[in-house]
């Protein structure tokens, strides 16, 4: 375990962190998985300055140069495993709350869990469920945020569709501080869902931060693309899309595109 600035900023009641601040790794999610196999049931947390094999959703790559936040948290599940999708939403809410607190920037959540500022992606979350660890289920919550990332050397498509926090607020931001704040916000929300309050406060918070609901969307389901209005979210995190014929479809996995109103005419 390494002592690091971020660790002194932790205010934790639920998580028992086994914190690793490292320079470079293939993927912080992979490193947490390895740590979990060695020594559950602590909460391994890895914060890396860069990744050489960062993973995105659907097997995509996550470009991970210096300047970004690459953070993974191993969370032991204390709710029924069927409810584990709520953790993806919980982590999304924790990230939005932290970015808003530290930068005052109005970041929102695009379903299922992209962090967006003015329709440009500033971060993403990859949650992986780990089974087979004695009696425990773990969720590895991997968070990637363009904090001080220089996007100028990146592919033109990335430049067009992405942004960084530093470019929005006009100055660099402490990655350690943001990481600690996100971890603290995950901690309080875990306490909440494991208490009598259950998952309802997270569902409400997610709705408040959502920039997808109410929008016309097209969803790539792999074998087909559907279009319609995003009208809600189920308790297991599926997006409810109302198609032209009025029938609601529940989308569990897929890529969503927000359509402008003139795209749907
Ligand atoms: C997405 O596709 O939007 C999710 C991207 C998640 C990237 C983060 S960076 C830290 C953690 N380690 C990884 O390999 N991926 C996640």
Q: Which residues line ligand 1 (CB under 6 A)?
A: 27-29, 51, 54-57, 60, 62, 70-72, 114, 124-126, 142-144
What pLDDT, on the 0 to 100 scale, is given for residue 171? 97
pTM of the model: 0.94
What pLDDT, on the 0 to 100 scale, is given for residue 263? 46
User: Any idea where the domains of the chain sit in the sequence?
Assistant: 7-209, 216-264
203 Cα–ligand 1 center, Å: 23
Least Cα distance to 81 among 136, 42, 32 occurs for: 136
205 Cα–ligand 1 center, Å: 22
Cα separations (Å) of 2 from 5, 23, 186?
10, 12, 21
Same fold, 7-209 and 216-264: no
Q: How many residues are present in the chain?
A: 265
pLDDT by residue, tens only, the chain of 265 residues = 445 778 889 999 999 999 999 999 999 999 999 999 887 668 999 999 999 999 999 899 999 999 999 999 999 999 998 889 999 999 999 999 999 999 999 999 999 989 999 999 999 999 999 987 667 899 999 999 999 999 988 888 888 999 999 999 999 999 999 999 999 999 999 999 999 999 999 999 999 999 999 999 999 888 889 999 999 999 989 999 999 877 899 999 888 998 864 444 3
What pLDDT, on the 0 to 100 scale, is given for residue 40? 61
Structure tokens at 106: 């109005």
259 Cα–ligand 1 center, Å: 25
Query: Which numbered atom of ligand 1 lies nearest the CA of 53?
Result: 14
What pLDDT, on the 0 to 100 scale, is given for residue 3? 57
What residue's CA is closest to ligand 1, atom 11?
142
Task: Return the CATH number of the domain spanning residue range 216-264.
Answer: 2.30.30.100
Query: Which numbered atom of ligand 1 lies nearest the CA of 26?
Result: 14
Phi, psi (degrees; rounded to nearest 5) at 171? -155, 160
User: Distance between CA 153 and CA 264 in Å, rounded?
Assistant: 34
Least Cα distance to 93 among 12, 184, 10, 185 occurs for: 185
What pLDDT, on the 0 to 100 scale, is given for residue 148? 97
User: Distance between CA 110 and CA 87 in Å, rounded?
Assistant: 16
Cα separations (Å) of 64 from 57, 150, 195, 216, 258?
14, 11, 36, 31, 25
Cis peptide before 112 (omega within 30 of 0): yes
Which are the contacts of 2, defined by CB distance < 8 A and separation ≥ 6? 19, 20, 21, 22
Q: For ligand 1, pick from 28, 144, 182 the residue to mutate: most ligand atoms within 8 Å of CB.
A: 144
What residue's CA is closest to ligand 1, atom 16?
142
Task: Return the CATH number of the domain spanning residue range 7-209.
Answer: 3.30.930.10
190 Cα–ligand 1 center, Å: 21
What pLDDT, on the 0 to 100 scale, is given for residue 186? 98
């Amino acid at each position: 375990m390494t002592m690091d600035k971020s660790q002194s900023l932790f205010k934790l009641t639920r998580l028992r962190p086994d914190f690793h601040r490292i320079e470079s790794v293939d993927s912080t999610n992979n490193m947490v998985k390895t740590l979990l196999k060695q020594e559950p049931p602590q909460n391994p947390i890895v914060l890396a300055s860069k990744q050489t094999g960062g993973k995105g959703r659907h097997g995509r790559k996550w470009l991970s140069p210096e300047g970004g936040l690459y953070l993974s948290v191993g969370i032991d599940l204390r709710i029924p495993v069927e409810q584990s999708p709520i953790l993806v939403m919980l982590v999304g809410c924790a990230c939005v709350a932290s970015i808003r607190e530290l930068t005052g920037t109005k970041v929102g959540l695009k379903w299922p869990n992209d962090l967006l500022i003015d329709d440009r992606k500033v971060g993403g979350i990859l949650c992986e469920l780990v089974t087979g660890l004695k009696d425990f289920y773990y969720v590895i919550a991997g968070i990637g945020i363009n904090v001080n990332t220089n996007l100028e050397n990146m592919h033109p498509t990335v430049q067009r569709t992405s942004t960084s926090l530093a470019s929005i607020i006009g100055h660099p931001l402490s990655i350690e501080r943001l990481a600690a704040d996100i971890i603290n916000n995950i901690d309080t929300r875990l306490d909440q869902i494991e208490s009598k309050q259950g998952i309802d406060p997270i569902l409400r918070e997610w709705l408040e931060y959502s920039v997808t609901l109410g929008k016309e969307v097209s969803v790539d389901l792999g074998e087909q693309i559907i279009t319609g209005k995003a009208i809600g979210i189920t308790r297991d995190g599926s997006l409810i899309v109302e198609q032209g014929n009025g029938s609601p479809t529940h989308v569990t996995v897929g890529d969503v595109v927000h359509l402008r109103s003139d795209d749907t005419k």
